[in-house]
């Protein structure tokens, strides 16, 4: 994030700032615009994904992808894992959409190029758990960014949170390994927040996910807490995204 800006300051700018479009981002299945958001003398780039630019899918309700993008940030935020860049849902220059802080990153680096670098091992372990929790149907290698500060970020969460199991990811290296105790504690705290209708998390998620999707997410967390192991690919199903990068 911009030097000396807090997460709350970034969120305030994303939510309330004036938006100036800079161009359409290439290689995206949905309309994604690079924008500059400015508010109270602060300005920085962001990625704006308007609802009206979403490609219809047979298994995800049209118009919900931008909400799922925002919900993924809220889950990352609640876990305290700092995986998803700050993201808000707001009215922008092309209507309702998600607006996510643009991460300055190494454009040559992605999961496959750094997977065996020990510096990133803990971050990728958290990402593997996060993707299971949010039921990420599209964790490509290129959806893992390495910030210029070395921080690992996960982006593109529009097709997450389906009530049916749809996990497709390139990160299976930790399958069947025991989950670290501190991560189990974070997951247990997340589950408690999801069970509390009055929690700050549930208020932030309001309108983003259906009741069945919230129930399914709690069940996935229950599975991790019960097995205490990293998830494994399932037989006789598609476990990897395509294309993988």
CB 225 within 8 A of CB 192: no
Tokens 């998620």 map to which residue? 205
In a 3-state reduction of DSSP, which class is residue 23?
Answer: strand
Each residue's pLDDT, cut to its tens digit, for the chain (245 residues) gives 555 789 999 999 999 999 999 999 987 888 999 999 999 999 999 999 999 999 999 999 999 999 999 999 999 999 999 999 999 999 999 999 999 999 999 889 999 999 999 999 999 999 999 999 999 999 999 999 999 999 999 999 999 999 999 999 999 999 999 999 999 999 999 999 999 999 999 999 999 999 999 999 999 999 999 999 999 999 989 999 999 98
Question: pLDDT value at position 195?
Answer: 97
CB 197 within 8 A of CB 170: no
CB 160 within 8 A of CB 134: yes
7-101 belongs to which CATH class? Answer: alpha beta
Whole-number Å distance between alpha carbons of 107 and 160:
24
Cα angle at 218 between 153 and 214, to 5 degrees?
85
CB 180 within 8 A of CB 125: yes
Instruction: Record the tokens describing residue 54, joined without a space.
Output: 């979403």
Whole-number Å distance between alpha carbons of 227 and 6:
36
Cβ neighbors of 238 (< 8 A, separation 6 or more) are 168
Query: What does the domain layout of the chain look like in residue ranges?
Result: 7-101, 111-227
Question: pLDDT value at position 84?
Answer: 99
Element (H or E) spanning 38, and its range?
A: strand 33-39
Question: Starting at the edge strand that comes first in sequence, how are the strands of the sheet with 87-92 ordered?
Answer: 18-24, 33-39, 42-50, 95-101, 87-92
DSSP of 169-202: BS--TTTTPBPPHHHHHHHHHHHHHHH-TTSHHH
State the pairing for strand pair 95-101/87-92.
antiparallel
Tokens 């927040």 map to which residue? 193
């Amino acid at each position: 994030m911009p030097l000396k800006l807090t997460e709350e300051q970034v969120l305030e700018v994303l939510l309330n700032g004036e938006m100036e479009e800079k161009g359409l981002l290439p290689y995206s299945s949905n309309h994604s615009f690079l924008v500059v958001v400015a508010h109270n003398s602060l300005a920085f780039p962001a990625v704006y994904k308007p609802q009206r630019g979403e490609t219809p899918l047979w298994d995800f309700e049209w118009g919900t992808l931008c909400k799922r993008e925002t919900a993924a940030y809220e889950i990352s935020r609640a876990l305290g894992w700092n995986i998803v860049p700050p993201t808000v849902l707001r009215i922008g220059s092309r209507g309702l959409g998600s607006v996510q802080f643009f991460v300055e990153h190494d454009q040559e680096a992605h999961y496959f190029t750094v997977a065996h670098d020990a510096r990133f091992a803990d971050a990728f372990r958290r990402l593997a758990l996060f993707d299971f929790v949010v039921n990420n149907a599209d964790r490509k290698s290129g959806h893992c960014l390495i910030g210029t500060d070395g921080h690992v970020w996960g982006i593109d969460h529009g097709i997450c949170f389906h009530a049916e199991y749809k996990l497709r990811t390139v990160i299976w290296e930790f399958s069947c390994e025991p989950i670290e105790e501190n991560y189990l504690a974070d997951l247990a705290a997340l589950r408690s927040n999801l069970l509390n209708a009055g929690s700050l998390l549930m208020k932030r998620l309001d309108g983003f996910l259906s009741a069945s999707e919230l129930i399914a997410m709690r069940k996935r967390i229950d599975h991790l807490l019960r097995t205490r192991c990293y998830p494994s690919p399932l037989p006789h199903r598609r476990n990897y995204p395509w294309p993988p990068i």
